[in-house]
Amino acid sequence: MDEISLVKRCQQGDLDAFRILVERLSTKALRTSYLIVGRKDIAEDVVQEAFIQCHREIKRLRTPETFETWFYRMLVRLSWRMASKEKGRLPLEPLDNAKGISTGDDDVTDTVETKERQQAVQQAVRRLSAPLRTTIVLRYFNGLSVKEIARVLNCRVGTVKSRLHNAAKRLAVELKQNGWEPSLGGEENPPDKQNVEREIKECEIGA
Amino acid sequence: MRKQAQFEEWLQASLACKAEEIEPAADMWERVRCRISTMERGKGIMILAKKLGNYLFFWQPAWKKTMAIALCGLLLVGGSVFGISPQARAWATDTFGFIVFKVIRTGDGYSLVKLSSEQAAPEGGASFGFGKIGNAGEIPACEIPAKVPVRIKGTSGGKGTPRYATAAEAKAKVGFPVHLPEYLPAGYKLEFIAADKWEKTGKGFVNVMYRVPGEHMKTVDLMLTDEQGFLKGGDAVRKVKVKGETAYWCEYPIATVTAGDTGPKVKAGHMLKWEDKGLAYTLRDSGDLSLEEMVRIAESI
């Protein structure tokens, strides 16, 4: 069953349809919230609260096509709210340094390097401000377009682009300080120009 | 591989890797369903799948915001009405304003002029004010600056001033002889004798009050003190003789307002001032005693 019909059934008070919706969305929603708030317990509370809020207010949703954007908007707002409430009360969860590192003989060096790089990126993302981090998560984890992110965050497309640009710049600086810098491939196009071109194209498609 | 693309790939991989650290709990749906059922049970009486309150109060306001908006709206509307409409301002002044009257001396006594609150500064005459006339009760006699007697603090014989039964007791307090009038018009009785000394100068004063029982406005007040320069103020001053010495007879306004009155009233009181053997005497009448009677009282002291 597609998402739109599920949403319509939920709007008519069908609890089974809502259960399917929860099961479909829960993993992605939980992970998105976790990446934004950085703590598992808070992320679980946020997602639970988001689903309850969703059930309460789904009847007010006029266009079921925009359900996902609408849901993520709730999720992001709740994540920010809960994170700001809990800020300073408990320490952030430590990064798992050794977890997941393969000890295979052939590719052990590559795997360790990849893991270290990923941890460096994760640390850099964690150090971003909440709006920048959320924009990055929605773009690179949820795969939303700039326009969709603008709808989720209820801001302008230009703001999203600016946040993406600033976040990328800060991440690049931080990674460079830690000795990680993407290497140049065969093509000579400067990355910034390509990025701008792609964003313009997305904007045109969205408009 | 392009630098930007590689960077994005790193980001995607890192975020995906981090996200894999968390999985939804197996009982996620059960917990959500439980919360939903609890909320629905707490909703109240349901009629046709809708909460009763939703039929009665279809608008569910946020009370704090609503109150704030209502207050702002009230201030805005009130400000606009009173800013634009002179009638509204006049009504507010009449209803809530501090009514101020100015005492003016006329050819045959005193009269009152109602002032607006802006004109209340007491320049060139006495003024007094009160809230609502009907609730004001009686106010004391109005002491007018400039041409009216200046009452020195502590000489009113009020509750703070010690009272004595006889003139001899008062004399013991102030240290100068206290003689009371032997003559009083018919009906006047001694009410109290108050005496004290001023802390700063060490001079004393005696305040003797006579009143016609049951008549609030019929009083004669005799003040004697060894403080020099006590004789000040008054209107329509006339020189008269008391025991062959020069005395001054003058008028002063007495404004009164009583409950149920349509407005305050002002009448002329009289005051006779003289000096004898180093003592300053002031005889004040709030009733309608004539000059002759006041001189007679003074001469009987």
- Which pLDDT tens digits describe chain B residue by residue (301 residues)? 567 788 888 888 888 888 888 888 888 888 888 888 887 766 555 555 555 556 666 566 678 888 999 999 999 999 999 889 888 888 877 777 666 677 777 666 777 776 655 554 444 445 554 433 333 333 344 444 434 444 544 455 556 778 888 888 888 888 888 888 888 888 888 888 888 887 777 888 888 988 888 877 788 888 888 876 655 666 777 888 888 888 888 887 777 766 555 667 777 788 888 888 888 888 888 878 888 888 889 888 8
What span, in angstroms and rounded, lies between the C-alpha atoms of A47 and A41? 10
What span, in angstroms and rounded, lies between the C-alpha atoms of A148 and B245? 107
Strand-strand pairing, B189-197 and B265-276:
unpaired
CB contact (8 A) between residue A183 and residue B10: no
Cα dihedral B145, B149, B153, B156 in deg (nearest 10): -130
Extract the tokens encoding B88: 């509204």
What span, in angstroms and rounded, lies between the C-alpha atoms of A17 and B136? 74
Of A44, A55, A180, the CB nearest to B36: A55
**Residue A14 confidence class, pLDDT cut points 50, 70, 90:** confident
Of A22, A40, A186, the CB nearest to B32: A22
Question: For residue B35, with 0-12 CB atoms within 10 Å meaning exposed, 13-18 middle and 19 or more buried, which class applies?
Answer: middle
Write out the H or E segment, with its range, that includes residue B128: strand B126-130
DSSP state of B155: -
What pLDDT shows up at residue B156?
Answer: 53
Q: Which of residues B103 and A37 earns the better pLDDT score?
A: A37
Q: Which of residues A149 and B270 earns the better pLDDT score?
A: A149
What pLDDT shows up at residue A145?
Answer: 92
Alpha helices in B97-191 (DSSP H): 167-174
What pLDDT shows up at residue B288?
Answer: 80
Q: Measured between beta carbons, which residues in chain A are less than 8 angstroms from residue B49?
A: 13
What span, in angstroms and rounded, lies between the C-alpha atoms of B165 and B167? 7
DSSP state of B125: S
Give the distance from CA A189 to its chain's centroid.
28
What span, in angstroms and rounded, lies between the C-alpha atoms of A111 and A102? 6
Among B1, B4, B8, the strongest candidate for a mutation testing the A interface, having the largest count of A CBs within 10 A, is B4
B256 neighbors B265 (Cβ within 8 angstroms): yes
What pLDDT shows up at residue B141?
Answer: 41
Q: What is the SS3 assignment for B126?
A: strand
Q: How much is the ipTM here?
A: 0.76
What span, in angstroms and rounded, lies between the C-alpha atoms of B291 and B301? 16
Give residue for tokens 């349509």. Answer: B262
Question: Residue B220 phi/psi, 5° resolution?
Answer: -130, 130
Extract the tokens encoding A139: 């773009």
Of A19, A34, A121, the CB nearest to B29: A19
Distance from CA of B52 to the nearest CA of A (A): 17
Q: What is the SS3 assignment for B53?
A: helix
CB contact (8 A) between residue B4 and residue A192: yes
How would you list the strands of the sheet with B99-106, edge to edge?
A: B109-115, B99-106, B126-130
What span, in angstroms and rounded, lies between the C-alpha atoms of B271 and B237? 9
Write out the H or E segment, with its range, that includes residue B289: none
Q: What is the SS3 assignment for B191?
A: strand
Q: Which of residues B245 and A97 earns the better pLDDT score?
A: B245
What span, in angstroms and rounded, lies between the C-alpha atoms of B208 and B194? 6
Cα A33-A36-A39 angle, rounded to 5 deg: 75
Closest listed residue to residue A71, CA positions, set A44, A53, A59, A45: A53
Of B1, B10, B21, the CB nearest to A121: B10
What is Dmax (Cα atoms) for chain B?
128
Q: Measured between beta carbons, which residues in chain B are less than 8 angstroms from residue A122?
A: 14-15, 17-18
Question: Residue A95 phi/psi, 5° resolution?
Answer: -75, 140
Q: Which of residues A1 and A161 earns the better pLDDT score?
A: A161
Closest listed residue to residue B289, CA positions, set B268, B264, B274, B273: B268
Give the C-alpha distances (Å, rounded to integers) separating A119 from A100, A116, A177, B14, B37: 12, 5, 14, 7, 42
